[in-house]
Amino acid sequence: MGKMKRYGVGVLFFSILCAVLVGCGGEEPSTLILNATVVDGTGRDRFEADVRLEGDRIAAVGKLRRRADEPVIDAAGLVLSPGFIDTHSHADYEIAEHPDAAADISQGITTVLAGQCGGSQLPLSEFFATVEELRPAVNIASFAGHGSIRAEVMGDDFARPASADEIASMRALLVKDLEAGALGMSTGLEYDPGIYSTTDEVVELAKVVSSHGGRYVSHIRSEDRKFWEAVDEVVAIGRQAELPVRISHLKLAMTSSHGETDRLLGMLEQARAAGIELTADIYPYTYWQSTLTVMFPDRDFEDRQAALFAVEELSSPEGMLIPDFEPDPSLAGKTLAEIAALRGTDPATTLIDLIREAEAMRVEKRAQGEDEDIESIIAVSMTEADIEKLIAWPHINFCTDGDLDGSHPRG
């Protein structure tokens, strides 16, 4: 007790939300941090200061004197900062199993924005009540997931445009989530059931979000074959619904689009110049994680041309890792190239076979009311050069797009 301690790390984190440094009194046990370079999150320049913590509050900032027997941390040469906000997280689906949120806390993340890519807990009021009772190690906010709401309204009959009555039912559920505290609405337009929605459906719901002062975030309709059209669509949604929009995990994921960052950033800047508050988040990796089926936008999983396109344009057999495959757990951790060699089939055929096996199990689990999340893929798809240019855009921020227990480094 009272021994000077020096931390050999680059950044120290306040485990609090508030970035405003205030004084408070009380008899709580205190800790003194000396000689820190403080970056307080307000946008002001960094400054040198001592910081005293009392309980879970910042008690004083400035040139401070140590109290008798007060523990001291020497932060000379280190940055002291509030915890980071992960603006695109999937922690909501595993927070009950991992309330310590070690995957986030170990990165200095203390707040996560969940309900991404069209998927959220429904209704959010119940989820927020559960979080309050659980008291996890991270603070959680959430968007309302368009896909979750659409599935609730349309059930298994989702592979079509929604009717006017169905959109009205979605609107009612969305309003309840917004009134419960949702930050806005997210879409996963490359996933079921969102892939079958029309732009008009999304605009109608986005207008509801706009009327509640929320924002729209989107895993856009295509990150490869029809990427440029998908960017146009998200811009159009922002313009027609008159609300801020953010593109989720921005990337150039198709081999033939590598190097076209100037074209992409030009489109985004043009939208901003037209008055659309357009931003994006990004993860600093060359590989993505999703489902095998997402690589088949027409949902024809027997389409050999689509399979060939996936293994030649979206990644490579060596660059496609299968971290989870419930129909045959022995394949978990192997690449598509390795699985193809084991089975004696070419990569495109192997991909089709894997999806066929996964879909058969998914149908069986759906009939039993069980979790259908039975396979996933991590694929190398982007280039470092493109990522370097995108992360330098002033209106982009880092995120993890991660869960709390995954094979991807972000989890």
Q: Which pLDDT band holds residue 271 (cuts at 50, 70, 90)?
A: very high
Residue-wise DSSP of 284-296 = S-SEEEE-GGGG-
Examine residue 408 and state whether it is found in any structural domain, yes or no: no
Whether residue 135 is contained in a domain is answered as yes
Pick the last residue of a domain from 59, 82, 105: 82
Asked if 73 and 175 sit in the same domain, the reply is: no
The closest alpha carbon to 296, from 219, 234, 352, belongs to: 352
Is the same domain home to 169 and 306? Answer: no
Q: How confident is the model at residue 56 (pLDDT cuts 50, 70, 90)?
A: confident
Examine residue 373 and state whether it is found in any structural domain, yes or no: yes
Q: What is the pLDDT of residues 371-396, one digit of tens each?
A: 778 999 999 999 999 999 999 999 99
- Quote the CA–CA distance of 4 and 14 in Å, as a whole number: 19
Tell me, yes or no, whether 298 and 327 share the same domain.
yes
* pLDDT reported for residue 369: 84
More confident of the two residues 14 and 39 = 39
- Residue at which a domain ends, from 82, 99, 130: 82
Q: What is the CA angle 218-224-228, rounded to 5?
A: 70
pLDDT reported for residue 372: 74
State the residue range of the domain holding 317: 289-380
Q: Where a domain ends, among 67, 82, 97?
A: 82
Same domain, 106 and 147: yes
Average pLDDT over residues 307-325: 96
pLDDT at 5: 33
Chain segment 348-373, per-residue pLDDT in tens: 999 999 999 999 999 998 888 887 78
- Answer whether residue 141 shows pLDDT above 50: yes
For the whole model, what pTM was predicted?
0.86
Please report the pLDDT score of residue 14 as a whole number. 47
Residue 16: pLDDT band with limits 50, 70, 90: very low
CA dihedral 275, 276, 281, 282 (to 10 degrees): -80
The amino acid that residue 205 corresponds to is: L
Which of 69, 29, 75 is CA-nearest to residue 51? 75
For β-strands 396-398 and 139-142, DSSP reports them as unpaired
Torsion angle defined by CA atoms of residues 403, 405, 407 and 411, in that order, rounded to the nearest 10 degrees: 40
Q: CA 365 to CA 138: how far, in whole Å? A: 32
Tell whether 132 and 212 lie within a shared domain. Answer: yes
Ordered DSSP codes for 166-185: HHHHHHHHHHHHHHHT--EE
pLDDT confidence of residue 409: 72
Q: Is the pLDDT of residue 2 over 50?
A: no
- Give the mean model confidence (pLDDT) for residues 187-203: 98
Residue 225 in any domain: the answer is: yes
Percent of the chain with pLDDT over 70: 93
pLDDT digits (tens, 9 = 90+) for 333-349: 999 999 999 999 999 99
Q: Would residue 409 count as lying in a domain? A: no
**What are residue 14's phi and psi, to 5 degrees?**
-75, 130
249 confidence band (pLDDT: 50, 70, 90): very high
Specify the long-range contacts of residues 154-158, CB closer than 8 Å, at least 24 apart: 154/193, 156/366, 158/192, 158/193, 158/196
Mark whether 193 and 276 lie in a shared domain.
yes
Do 78 and 89 belong together in one domain? no
In a domain, 250, yes or no: yes
- Rounded distance between C-alpha atoms, residue 32 and residue 335, angstroms: 50
Kindly state the greatest CA–CA separation across the chain: 74
Element containing residue 81 per DSSP (H, E): strand 79-82
Q: Is beta strand 245-247 parallel, antiparallel or unpaired with respect to 47-54?
A: unpaired
Q: Work out how many domains the chain is built from and give that number.
A: 3
* Residue with the two structure tokens 């190398």: 380
Question: Which of 184-188, 253-257, 335-339 is predicted with the least confidence, judged by mean pLDDT?
Answer: 253-257
pLDDT tens-digit map of 162-171: 999 999 999 9
Asked whether residue 404 is assigned to any structural domain, the reply reads no
Same structural domain, 139 and 271? yes
Assigned domain for 74 exists: yes
**Same domain assignment for residues 190 and 102:** yes
- Do 163 and 56 have their domain in common? no
Q: Is 244 helix (H, G, I), strand (E, B) or coil?
A: coil
Mean pLDDT of 86-107: 94
The answer on 375 and 313 residing in a single domain is: yes
CA–CA gap between residue 219 and residue 117 (Å, rounded):
5
Q: Which of 310, 328, 293 is nearest to 380 (CA)?
A: 310
Would you tell me the crossing angle of helices 124-134 and 164-180 to the nearest 10 degrees?
30
pLDDT at 41: 85
Taking the CA atoms of residue 163, residue 168, residue 169 and residue 175 in that order, the dihedral angle to the nearest 10 degrees is 150
CATH of the domain at 37: 2.30.40.10
Answer yes or no: do 257 and 175 share one domain.
yes
In this structure, what CATH number is given to the domain that contains residue 199? 3.20.20.140
